[in-house]
C-alpha cells in the first residue's frame, strides 16, 4: 500500500472519530455485530459504521510434489457505512475493502493504476411503497450465493460455481420491487450497468449489461432475511422456501467472465442464466444453484501457433448443492457438492469438488470459527485435498 493510501486511511479514521465525538449523545441501538449507530439531533440523517475481518489458514496438497503448501492471510477486511440522508426514504451504503485480496487490481489500464478499494457506493431511493431505485456501484441481482454477504456464508468461502460464473458488482441503475399475494412474497429486480465490473475508470467498452431477477417465497418471508444468510441461524419454526431465476445479457463483453476476469482482445455477447433455491426449517438448511453461460458467437478469442487457447470467455455449466444442520450448541455440520463443466472449445477442464464443513457460531455470523476440507477432482490431473480454517469478527 503506497503512502497516499495510508494517508487517506488515516484521514478517514480521524473523520470517523471526530464524527462520533460530535454525535456522542445520539448513539442508539448499538450492539455487538450491529455496528455503531448515530442519528442526527434533527433526524436529517443517520450513519452506521461496521467493520469486520477474516483470518484464514489454507493448506493444499500439491499433487505434483506431494508437498503440503499452506499460508495464513487476512482474507477480507472491510469498513461499511450505511444509513439515510435527508429523508428515511433515501438510503445509502458505502463499503470499502482494505485487505490485499480486496484491493488488488490486475487491470491497471482500466482502473487508472489505482487500488480497487470501493466495493459498494450506492444510494437507494424508496420513492413508492415496496419500490426503490438504486444508483451507483453494488452487487448485481445475480445468483443467490453471490448476493449472500461474505460475512454470512455457510462455508469458509463460496463455491466453484460462483468463482466461474458470478456477476459480482457493477456501476449503473437498479430497480427493486416487492409485493405479496396472500402469504406468498414476490420480488422483482432489474439492472442496467456498464458491464465491465467495479472501479473501472475508462470509457465503456462494448455495450452495457442488462440483468433481471425474479424471486418467489411461497411460505412467506424468512426470519432475519434468512433467505440470504448461510445456515438456519434463526431456526425457522415453519418451513421456508425461496425460489429464484436470474438472467444477464452482457452486450459485447470485453472481460473473460463478463464483469470479471481478464480484458481480452475481442468482444463477445455473453448470456448467463441462474436458477437457485433456499430451504430452511428448524436448524436444517439447503441451497442449490445452477448456472449456464453462453457466447453465441463462440467463446474462444485467440489461439497460439500450436492451436492452444491463450484467450477465452468462460462459458459452460455449473451446479452447486449444499446442506447443513445447526445443533442447539450452535455447532453446524454441512456438506457441499459442486460440478463445473466448461464449454469444450474453451480448453478449460471439468472440475468437481466435495466439501465437508464444521462451524461454531459464537455470536451468529458476527463471531464464528469455520473450517472445511475439500476434495478437488479436476480432469486429467491428480486429485487434491484442501483444508481451511477461518476466524471471523464483525463489529
Residue 198: helix, strand or coil by DSSP? coil
- The burial class, CB within 10 Å (0-12 / 13-18 / 19+), for 14 is exposed
Average pLDDT of the chain to the nearest whole number: 91
- The burial class, CB within 10 Å (0-12 / 13-18 / 19+), for 53 is middle
Q: What residues contact residue 128 under an 8 Å CB cut-off, 6+ apart? A: none
Contact 222, 129 (CB under 8 A): no
Give phi and psi for 194, each to the nearest 5: -70, -30
Contact 55, 391 (CB under 8 A): yes
Q: Which pLDDT belongs to residue 9?
A: 56
**Mean pLDDT in residue range 72-80:** 96
State the Cα–Cα distance between residues 67 and 105, nearest whole angstrom: 30
Q: What residues contact residue 212 under an 8 Å CB cut-off, 6+ apart? A: 141, 188, 189, 190, 191, 246, 247, 248
Q: Which pLDDT belongs to residue 25?
A: 47
Contact 337, 354 (CB under 8 A): yes
**pLDDT above 60 (res 153):** yes
CA separation (Å) from 18 to 22, 24, 52? 6, 10, 21
**Mean pLDDT in residue range 181-203:** 94
Residue with more model confidence, 314 or 1: 314
Contact 112, 23 (CB under 8 A): no
| 17 membership: H or E segment, kind and range | helix 3-22
Question: pLDDT tens-digit profile of 256-285?
Answer: 999 999 999 889 999 999 999 999 999 999
Q: What residues contact residue 305 under an 8 Å CB cut-off, 6+ apart? A: none
**pLDDT above 50 (res 351):** yes
**Mean pLDDT in residue range 67-95:** 96
Q: Which residue has the cell 457438492?
A: 337
Contact 20, 29 (CB under 8 A): no
The pairing of beta strand 118-128 with beta strand 331-342: unpaired
Q: What residues contact residue 76 under an 8 Å CB cut-off, 6+ apart? A: 52, 53, 54, 97, 99, 101, 102, 150
For the chain, domain boundaries: 3-394
pTM summary value: 0.91
**Mean pLDDT in residue range 21-49:** 78
**pLDDT above 50 (res 232):** yes
**Mean pLDDT in residue range 34-43:** 89
Q: Distance from CA of residue 372 to its chain's centroid?
A: 19
Question: pLDDT tens-digit profile of 108-151?
Answer: 667 776 778 999 999 999 999 999 999 999 999 999 999 999 99
DSSP structure string for 164-181: HH---EEEEEEEEEEEEE
**Mean pLDDT in residue range 166-174:** 97
CA separation (Å) from 308 to 208, 254, 299, 303, 342? 30, 20, 14, 5, 16
Q: Which residue has the cell 411503497?
A: 129
Q: What residues contact residue 4 under an 8 Å CB cut-off, 6+ apart? A: none
CATH topology of domain 3-394: Porin (2.40.160)
**Mean pLDDT in residue range 252-257:** 94
Predicted confidence band of residue 304 (pLDDT cuts 50, 70, 90): confident
Q: Which pLDDT belongs to residue 370?
A: 98
Question: What whole-number percentage of the chain has pLDDT above 70?
Answer: 91
State the Cα–Cα distance between residues 254 and 366, nearest whole angstrom: 37
Amino acid at each position: 500500500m503506497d503512502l497516499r493510501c495510508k494517508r487517506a486511511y488515516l484521514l478517514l479514521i480521524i473523520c470517523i472519530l471526530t464524527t462520533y465525538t460530535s454525535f456522542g449523545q445520539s448513539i442508539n441501538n448499538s450492539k455487538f455485530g450491529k455496528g455503531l449507530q448515530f442519528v442526527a439531533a434533527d433526524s436529517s440523517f443517520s450513519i452506521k459504521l461496521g467493520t469486520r475481518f477474516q483470518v484464514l489458514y489454507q493448506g493444499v496438497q500439491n499433487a505434483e510434489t506431494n508437498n503440503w503448501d499452506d499460508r495464513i492471510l487476512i482474507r477480507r477486511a472491510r469498513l461499511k457505512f450505511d444509513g439515510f440522508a435527508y429523508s428515511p426514504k433515501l438510503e445509502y451504503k458505502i463499503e470499502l475493502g482494505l485487505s490485499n485480496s480486496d484491493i488488488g487490481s490486475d487491470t491497471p489500464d482500466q482502473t487508472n493504476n489505482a487500488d480497487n478499494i470501493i466495493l459498494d457506493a450506492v444510494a437507494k431511493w424508496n420513492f413508492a411503497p415496496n419500490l426503490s431505485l438504486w444508483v451507483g456501484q453494488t452487487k448485481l441481482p445475480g445468483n443467490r450465493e453471490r448476493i449472500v454477504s461474505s460475512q454470512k456464508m455457510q462455508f469458509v468461502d463460496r463455491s466453484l460455481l460462483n468463482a466461474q460464473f458470478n456477476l459480482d458488482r457493477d456501476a449503473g441503475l437498479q430497480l427493486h420491487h416487492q409485493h405479496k399475494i396472500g402469504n406468498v412474497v414476490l420480488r422483482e429486480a432489474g439492472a442496467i450497468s456498464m458491464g465491465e465490473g467495479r472501479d473501472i475508470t475508462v470509457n465503456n467498452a462494448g455495450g452495457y449489461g442488462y440483468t433481471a431477477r425474479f424471486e418467489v417465497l411461497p411460505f412467506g418471508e424468512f426470519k432475519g432475511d434468512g433467505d440470504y444468510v448461510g445456515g438456519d441461524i434463526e431456526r425457522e419454526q415453519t418451513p421456508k422456501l425461496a425460489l429464484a431465476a436470474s438472467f444477464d445479457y452482457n452486450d459485447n463483453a470485453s472481460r473473460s467472465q463478463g464483469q470479471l476476469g481478464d480484458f481480452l482482445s475481442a468482444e463477445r455477447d455473453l448470456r448467463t442464466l441462474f436458477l437457485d433455491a433456499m430451504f430452511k426449517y428448524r436448524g436444517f438448511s439447503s441451497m442449490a444453484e445452477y448456472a449456464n453461460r453462453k457466447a453465441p458467437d463462440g467463446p474462444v478469442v485467440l489461439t497460439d501457433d500450436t492451436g492452444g487457447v491463450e484467450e477465452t470467455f468462460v462459458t459452460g455449466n455449473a451446479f452447486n448443492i449444499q446442506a447443513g444442520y445447526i445443533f442447539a450448541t450452535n455447532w453446524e455440520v454441512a456438506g457441499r457438492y459442486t460440478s463445473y463443466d466448461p464449454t469444450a472449445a474453451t480448453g478449460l477442464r471439468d472440475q468437481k469438488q466435495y466439501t465437508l464443513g464444521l462451524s461454531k457460531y459464537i455470536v451468529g455470523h458476527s463471531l464464528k470459527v469455520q473450517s472445511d476440507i475439500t476434495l478437488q477432482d479436476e480432469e486429467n490431473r491428480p486429485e487434491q485435498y484442501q483444508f481451511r480454517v477461518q476466524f471471523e469478527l464483525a463489529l
